[in-house]
Structures are given as structure tokens and as C-alpha cells.
Amino acid sequence: MIELAHVTRAYRLGPNEVRALDDVTETIDRGEHVAIMGPSGSGKTTLLNVLGCLDAPTSGSYRLNGREVAELDEAERSHVRRKEIGFVFQTYHLVPRLDARANVELPLLLDGLAPDDRAARATEALEAVGLADRVTHRPSELSGGERQRVAIARALIMDPGLLLADEPTGNLDSAAGGQILQLMDDLHAEGKTIVTVTHDPTVARHADRVLVLIDGRIAHRLHPDDVAGLADLFEVRRAGR
């Protein structure tokens, strides 16, 4: 499903070039759940942005579902983002003045679906994530875990094959985080391809395998059972000790 070949993403900082991604080559098969870990500044979010067609490599190849993304024009990339990829963020990105159902409806609104059809599909999506009794609640009336479930329902409303999650439990307590992880496990069992950026070994252990980024490169490919202690190692590296 995802094929990266020698992908580099470089930025200019004054006279210097900084490589957020440096010669990344990786394949992610359809139906896999892959976790991406690494210290702060290692390129995790940059890689997720490239996978989500929000950013483009400076060099190298990114093929999604057999298509070279660099060859798509902006309208085609927008279509891919809307139809084929669902995004889940640490900070939810919900519209405060809209209730849960209206937030979930937003992608359908952009797709031109009729109001009654939008409402029905959004209600069904919220029921699927356990929020049947919260459809008319605004984000301020929801807990953190409920907000994230609304965000997941919105990400799934177009039935994308690929779900990209950036620290999906980062703002949640352990109980709410556990509910989100169970929901993601269920989506994985249904055949969704999931890529999760996380600093938390508990989250990474729900994946099929783990990629560890350091300085923009894939430094390690690990089994989820082997990630214990990585978070502490990253903190030591960040502190320079």
C-alpha cells in the first residue's frame, strides 16, 4: 500500500540544510499497523505528513496504492487526502461551535452529500465509536476520550483505507487512552492500515511492528515486544546525557 524509496525531506535554515527525513526506504503492506517512535526532532511528524500527502519529499519516491504521489496535481492530492486517508491528531482539531455530529459531517459536506444523508451517516459513525448518546454535544461538553472518538469517527466517515494517527492518546488519561487503543485494535482487525506516531511504548505494543527514527533515518525495525525502555532512551538522548 505504501512504498517509500530513498525519501528525503530537507529544509533551509539560513545557510544550512536540515534533513528532517534522510534516505528513508520502507514498505507498509495493506492491513498492517505500524508504529513510528523516536526522540523529539527525529522526523516522525514529517514522515506522517509525507504519508498523508500534506508535505512532499525533496527527493525520492512515495507510492500510495501503486500511484506515484509526486505525479499527482493538487486537485488529485486533495482527492486522495479526502477519500483515501483518515487523520487523527493529538489535539482532536474539532470545531468548538459544532456538535459531535456536525463535526463528523464535515468531510461529507465537502463531498457534497445531501444534509439528511450526512446526518444519518455521521450518527452511524458516532454510534460505531460508542457515542450514540453524545451526537448533539459540543466538544466543550465532552471528555478528552470522547473528543478523540469523535475525531476518529470523522476520520473514518469516508471509509479510508489508511488511518494516520499522531499521538492519539497523548492528551488522555490511562482509562480513556485504553479505550482509544481498543478502538484502534478493532479497526485494525477490520482491515484498516494504520500508522501511529507515538512516544509511548504502551501504544507501540498494539502495532504489528515498530520503526524507530533517529535524525531522520530509520535506525531500528523492532517487534513491539522489544520497545520497553525506548522512551527513557529518547529522553536521555534529547537531554544530551
pLDDT at site 241:
44
Per-residue model confidence (pLDDT) at position 17? 87
Domains of the chain plus CATH, in order, are 31-49+77-239 (3.40.50.300)
Does the pLDDT at position 194 exceed 60?
yes
Q: Return the minimum-mean-pLDDT range out of 15-29, 164-178, 181-195, 226-240.
A: 226-240
* Mean pLDDT value across residues 89-99: 92
3-state class of 12 per DSSP? strand
Distance CA 25, CA 1 (A): 14
Q: Where are the beta strands (DSSP E) in the chain?
A: 2-13, 16-28, 33-37, 59-64, 67-68, 85-89, 162-166, 193-197, 209-214, 217-222
Burial of 83 (0-12, 13-18, 19+ CB in 10 A): middle
At 234, the pLDDT band (50, 70, 90 cuts) reads low
Position 237 pLDDT exceeds 70: no
Give the pLDDT band (50/70/90) at residue 236. Answer: very low
- Please provide residue 83's backbone torsions phi and psi, each rounded to the nearest 5 degrees: -100, -30
Task: Please report the pLDDT score of residue 228 as a whole number.
Answer: 80
CA 123 to chain centroid, in Å, comes to 23
- For residue 220, the model assigns a pLDDT of 94
Say whether pLDDT at 240 is over 80. Answer: no
d(CA 106, CA 191): 24
Q: What is the dihedral of CA 47, 51, 55, 60, to 10 degrees?
A: 80
CA atoms within 13 A on the CB side of 202: 13
Mean pLDDT of the chain: 92
pTM of this structure: 0.90
